[in-house]
Structure 1
Amino acid sequence: MAVWRAVTTLAAVLLVTAVPAQAEPKPTVKRLKKELSALQKDADKLITDYYAGRIAHQKAEKAEKAAREKLAAAQEVYDSHSTSLRAMAVAQYVGGEPSQPAMLTGNRDPSALLDRMALAQHLIDVQDARVRGYAEVRNAHRQASAEAEARAKDLRRTVEDLGERREKAEKQIEKVKDRIDLLYTAPGIRRPDGTWVPQLPDGPDNITPRMRLVRNLIGDRFEVPYGIGCYRPIQDGGEHPLGRACDFMLSRGGAMPSAAELQRGDQIAAWAVKNAKRLGIMYVIYRQRIWHVGTGSWRTMSDRGGTTANHYDHPHISVY
């Protein structure tokens, strides 16, 4: 009986473990918006902390500069007093200034003796004043040195903290942007092989709804400062006259873009490749290279003889 009970229990365990675990449901638009809102709040807080860090950094820089200037001034006075004190000590050692015993015994005239005593006291007072002054300058020098070192440490800490805050803020902002992208999918019909049924252009901008979505997402995310050109009527065999292509300009007049703008172009191209299947992007051209969704890799294009013709001053994106 005990054996039968054990077998029954084992069978029940195997039956339970054999049932496949259900996959978590895909996040709904409502859930994504809720997550997006939370991420946005986190990002805003990090940005606030970042700017607070910048202000602390600037204050530390000013304080450190003031401490260095104070230290330099104290060093100058310190050196001057040190030189003067050494000269006085040497003069006394070689007899340049009379010692008190010699002045008291060198002349028996009472008035002369009093004059010499007064002179000796004066020299003692001068020496004491110099020593006190030296001690004050020495202490000020030490204090300025300690202040400068403390401010330098504060500056190093704020710089490190500022870098960490900025990195966190940028990561959170990227998460926010990725969530925004995921809220959208390309309009239209997708074929079983992964390609999309072409759309007709509409609206005053003469581009397709699919191209408009990609254009707007890139414009919002990357803030293309030199403009976005899409439809043009010239029949050149490309997608521009069909309303299925846009150029995201990085400079004007055919000039080579700055390093920062070239990096922006790299980011736009990488974003397009990453989101190609979801948004119906067919190919991307940038820096005399082309990436096609069918191959999934970049290949070099022939030289067309110019910055614009070779797509160095803009990424070109075409959709199905």
Structure 2
Amino acid sequence: MAVASSADRRRGPLRARTTAAFKGLTAGLAVALLLVVPATAGHADPKPSVKRLEKELAELSKDSDKLIEDYYHGRREQQDAEKAEKAAREKLEAAQEVYDRESTQLRAMAVSEYIGGRPSPLTLIADSGEYTFTMSRLALSDFLISQQEARLSGFTRVRDEHRRAQQEAADLAEELDATVDDIDERRKKAKKLIEKIKDKIDQLHKAPGRRSDGTFVPQLPGGSDNITPRMRLVKTLIAQRFEVPYGIGCYRAIQDGGQHPLGRACDFMLSRGGTMPSGAEIERGEEIAKWAIKNAKRLGIMYIIYRQRIWHIRTGGWRVMTDRGGTTANHYDHPHISVY
């Protein structure tokens, strides 16, 4: 009758929890996708109200939270599996070391008996000096037999432990690979759903002052931040969607011929003191720029400057700018967004 190994006993609950979490994840995603799919004629209003969109967003947010919870639950399982797999590998290495040592000693004993018929006389080391004596053939034979049996018994235990450790490490490595794949799939689905939520939020807002032909009426700056309502909307949406840990600078009184004194531009900082941003912050800047391009027509965004490049809604595409002499001047530490 086969007996379940310790690796099997550990793997069973983990697999059950992973399967249950994945089923819940799939069900949540299905519900979310039903909410995202546009309504068809005859079943619902093809132009949903803001109130309905807000309700859908609330439902999507709940599903998103569940996906994120499942994702982090999977990450914890992965970390536990990594620790167990590491411990198994260390155990295997220790068993391999003992295994190799015992194998060498056993081979040496066999060679010694084969070549000499019996080992050389034994030497005893004492505190008062070195004493050499020879056992009788019978006593030596009995001693060697008992020593060999003990050696063989120990070697068998080491060998079996080595095999168990090897199998355990292989099982845990396989389980770890499956867990990583499952977590990666969860992360991708959660990310897609979150993006749908964010897109829905964006679509709830349209820039004020947009004419029927797609152009925008001029706006005066106002409020304590001295920016136009159109710029304030873009600033708010970016702050909510991306977070900007190093601050957002908009109005500047100095008349430099740009949009800042007019309240129609903001800088979304990715570092402090003119230092080059980290890789993660550079990527955040790229995502902000992509978002601004995607929503430019609806929000009245005129141009974007980032990393010594400029994108203008009239021409499309990025073009390189001349060197202005510094990290901040060349917009390496922030995307600049201007609106009409």
TM bucket normalised to smaller? 0.7 to 0.9
Give per-residue Cα distances to partners, 1:58-95, cap 9 Å, x unaligned.
Answer: 11111111111111111122122212221222222234
* Alignment counterpart, residue 257 of structure 2, candidates 237, 240, 249: 237
Q: What is the deviation of 1:21?
A: 9.9
CA distance, structure 2, for counterparts of residue 57 and residue 155 of structure 1: 7
Aligned to 2:183: 162
**Alignment pair present for 1:123 and 2:144:** yes
**Residues 286 and 119 of structure 1: is their aligned pair in 2 closer, same or farther, counting only changes over 3 Å?**
closer
Q: Map 1:41-120 to 2 at 5 A.
A: 41-97=62-118, 120=141
The reply on whether 1:205 has 2:225 as its aligned counterpart is: yes
- Mark the CA change 1:57 to 1:29 in structure 2 (over 3 Å): closer, same or farther: same
Q: List structure 1 runs of 4+ shifted beyond 6 angstroms.
A: 20-24
RMSD: 2.3
Match of 1:285 among 298, 305, 309: 305
| Correspondence for 1:138 | 159
Once the two structures are TM-superposed, the CA of residue 262 in structure 1 deviates from its matched residue by 1.7
Task: Write the letter of the residue equivalent to 2:229.
Answer: P
- Structure number with greater Rg is 1
Q: How has the CA–CA distance of structure 1 residues 304 and 124 changed in structure 2, closer, same or farther, with 3 Å as cutoff?
A: closer
| Counterpart selection for 1:186 from 207, 210, 225 | 207
Q: Which amino acid aligns with 2:172?
A: R
Corresponding residue of 1:38: 59
**What is the aligned partner in structure 1 of residue 317 from structure 2?**
297
CA distance in 1, matches of 2:264, 2:303: 11
Unpaired stretches in structure 2, ≥5 consecutive residues: 1-40, 120-135
Using the size of structure 1 for normalisation, the TM-score is 0.82
Cα deviation for residue 119 of structure 1 reads: 5.0
Corresponding residue SS for 1:255? coil
Q: What CA deviation, in whole Å up to 9, does each residue of 1:185-227 have, x standing for no partner?
A: 1122x23432111112121111111111110110111111111
| Number of residue pairs matched by the alignment | 284
Q: Which moved more, 1:230-239 or 1:24-33?
A: 24-33
Distance in 2 between the 1:180 and 1:159 partners? 31
Question: CA 1:23–1:39 in structure 2 vs 1: closer, same or farther (change >3 Å)?
Answer: closer
Give the CA deviation at 1:30. 2.2
In 2, distance between residues paired with 1:297 and 1:78?
A: 65
Larger mean CA deviation between 226-235 and 159-168 belongs to 159-168
- SS at 1:283's partner residue? strand
Which of 195, 198, 217 lines up with 2:237 in the alignment?
A: 217
The alignment-based identity, stated in percent, is 70
**Partners in 2 of 1:215 and 1:316 — Cα distance?**
11
Q: What one-letter code is carried by the residue in structure 1 that aligns with 2:257?
A: G
State how far apart, in whole Å, the 1-side matches of 2:71 and 2:149 are.
54
In the alignment, is residue 311 of structure 1 matched against residue 323 of structure 2?
no
Amino acid at match of 2:74: G
Deviation of 1:140 (Å): 0.8
Which of 275, 288, 293 does residue 295 from structure 2 map onto?
Answer: 275
Summarize the Cα distance change of 1:68–1:280 in structure 2 as closer, same or farther, 3 Å threshold. Answer: same
Q: Which amino acid aligns with 1:87?
A: A
Q: Distance in 2 between matches of 1:124 and 1:289?
A: 84
Indicate which of 255, 275, 278 corresponds to 1:258: 278
Distance 2:284 2:202 in 1: 18
Q: TM-score normalized by structure 2?
A: 0.77
Distance in 2, Cα, partners of 1:118 & 1:181: 93
1:90-116 C-alpha deviation (Å, 9 max, x unpaired): 222234428xxxxxxxxxxxxxxxx86
